[in-house]
Chains A and B, each alone.
Chain A
């Protein structure tokens, strides 16, 4: 099924030049992550009251911690299991360069969904926007032939799992986020 779904999505590549252009914009390592970061920076300043803003800032700090956790999980998975990229084993429509690391799990999907899942718990609207961007990012990875659907799905699961763990460990992480916010407040940054 993973293979069939990959063929279906990647099979669309090369048919509509405009769609290819859009996917090439989305698939690279710079476009979506930068937008996610911009949204995160903006979220740091949001809040009608000081207390409201502080909750948002705690969420931003949780995103950073969850990103570290998600990256660690992806690295650990890569050490345990190597799945060749689709272009290594079959003919694909490749619209991107040839990454050499393991295909499963997808690190970009993990990153995108970590942002979305943490923020979703604090702000549904922004979380939905980030989730949409993360989904496009993941879809573009399959469309451009660098990941299987299962890779991006597992990456997304890792992202959501990291967000869940970080939220569950909030009591444990609270002193750290309090310290960061206090320090930032002294510098008039929070």
Chain B
């Protein structure tokens, strides 16, 4: 076999190894429920296993079924072999990391909440009797006005839409809900987000300014805790999956989000969590509920110690960013706010 032929077989082997490694990574993703490595998501691990096995078999089948002559001729030397294998490994890993980052179509919402502009940010308002929800979520007859209100912040990298099920449910139960955009990650600028939302709600004609609570997810939860500590107008706090401690999440982040989002998340939280220092800023004398998903791999190692003195609950089977959409967490949060602020 001539030199170019050895390169050819090396490249063909690389192509086959690419498929084989990508297949193996899909099986790994299904086994460890790694969203950031799975081409099909991990909602249905069986599909992921099936894809992995198919890729493996197809790639092996193609190479060994069609390249008989080259396989049984002198091939690349050990170092060249390692190079081609390394090339395939890098390409397969890049594919598995990048594809889950592609934007996917989100479901079409049945409600059309109104967009509001605030000082230094934007938000989405869910009101029990606002015109935007008319026809979908009629106000319950006899609901007293003014109402209790919630100012909410989504997680880092998650849009305001991620809080739509929770906000809609709260609105159905009579709360006015303002979901803010996490529009800045600059410290201390982001400290102004919740106060601007709370000020907006307090001035809203439908809202009772004495019954305002805040809710946050992930970094938004840390920010909610920190903001509540300095704002007496905030009467209750629900923190869904707060970060609380700076950690080096490593591979665990792939269980929660796609790779690129994970890189941004770890870079941003590394600085912001220590600056927010929410662990040292739990609001004194006001109720605070901390909620984590049982499958959240980014939660503090010792959640009980981290949440000392606060109410804490764990919703089994939920992850960091699936928690706000989980019916159990939605129900717990709504009931708790109803208890603390009244409906």
When each residue 30-69 of chain B gets 1 if its CB lies under 8 Å from chain A and 0 otherwise, what string results? 0110100000000000000000000000001001100000
Cα–Cα distance between A29 and B79 once the two chains are bound (Å): 13
A28 touches B249 (CB 8 A): no
B251 within 8 Å of A (CB atoms): yes
Q: Which of A166-190 contact B (CB under 8 A)?
A: 184-190
Interface status of B259 (Cβ within 8 A of chain A)? yes
Q: How far is the CA of A107 from the CA of B82 in the complex (A)?
A: 14
Stretch binding the partner chain, chosen from A3-11, A35-43, A120-128: A35-43
**B24 at the binding interface (Cβ < 8 Å):** yes
Report whether A188 and B85 are in contact in the complex, using a CB–CB cutoff of 8 Å.
no
Closest Cβ of chain A: how far from B3's Cβ, in Å? Answer: 15
- Which residue of chain A has the shortest Cβ distance to B75 in the bound complex? A29
Render A67-108 as a binary contact track against B, CB cut-off 8 A, 1 for contact: 000010000000000000000000000001101100000010
Contacting pair A190 B251 (CB below 8 A): yes
Chain A residue contacts of B251, Cβ below 8 A = 45, 53, 185, 188-190
- Interface SS, A side: helix
A42→B27 contact, CB < 8 A: yes
Query: Given the known A-B contacts A42-B28, A107-B78, A188-B253, are A96 and B72 also in contact in the complex, defined by CB atoms under 8 Å?
Result: yes
By the criterion CB–CB under 8 Å, are B21 and A41 in contact? yes
- Known: A107-B78, A188-B250, A188-B253. Contact between A28 and B20, CB under 8 A? no
Contact B71 A38 (CB under 8 A): no
> In the bound complex, how far is the Cα of B262 from the Cα of A100, in angstroms?
50
Query: In which size bucket is the chain B interface?
Result: 35 or more
B250 touches A29 (CB 8 A): no
CA distance A190 to B250 in the complex (A): 5
Contact across chains for B74 and A28 when beta carbons are under 8 A apart: no
**A99 and B250 within 8 A (CB):** no
Residues of B within 8 A of A41 (CB): 21, 24-25, 28, 89
CB of A1 within 8 Å of the partner chain: no
Residue contact B250 to A185, C-beta cutoff 8 Å:
yes
Total contacting residues, chain A, CB less than 8 A: 28
Chain B residue with minimal CB distance to A71? B78
Contact indicator A34/B72 (Cβ below 8 Å): no
**Complex: how many Å from CA A188 to CA B34?**
12
Q: Output the nearest chain B residue to A181 by Cβ-Cβ distance.
A: B250
Q: Is the beta-carbon distance between B20 and A38 smaller than 8 angstroms?
A: yes
Q: Is the CB of A24 within 8 A of B81?
A: no
B115 in contact (CB, < 8 A): no
Most chain A beta-carbon contacts within 10 A, residue among B28, B73, B254? B28
Whether A25 is near chain B, meaning CB under 8 Å from some CB there, is: yes
Q: Is B295 an interface residue (CB 8 A)?
A: no
Chain A positions within 8 Å of B, measured between CB atoms, are: 24-25, 28-31, 33-34, 37-38, 41-42, 45, 50, 53, 71, 96-97, 99-100, 107, 184-190
Selected A-B contacts with CB under 8 Å, 20 pairs: A28-B72, A29-B75, A29-B81, A30-B13, A30-B63, A30-B71, A30-B75, A34-B17, A41-B21, A42-B28, A45-B31, A45-B32, A50-B250, A53-B251, A96-B72, A186-B248, A188-B253, A188-B262, A188-B266, A190-B250
Binding site for A on B (CB under 8 A): 13, 16-17, 20-21, 24-25, 27-28, 31-32, 34, 60, 63-64, 71-75, 78, 81, 85, 89, 248-254, 259, 262-263, 266
> Shortest 9 CB-CB distances between A and B: which pairs?
A185-B250, A38-B24, A188-B253, A28-B71, A45-B28, A188-B262, A190-B250, A29-B75, A97-B73
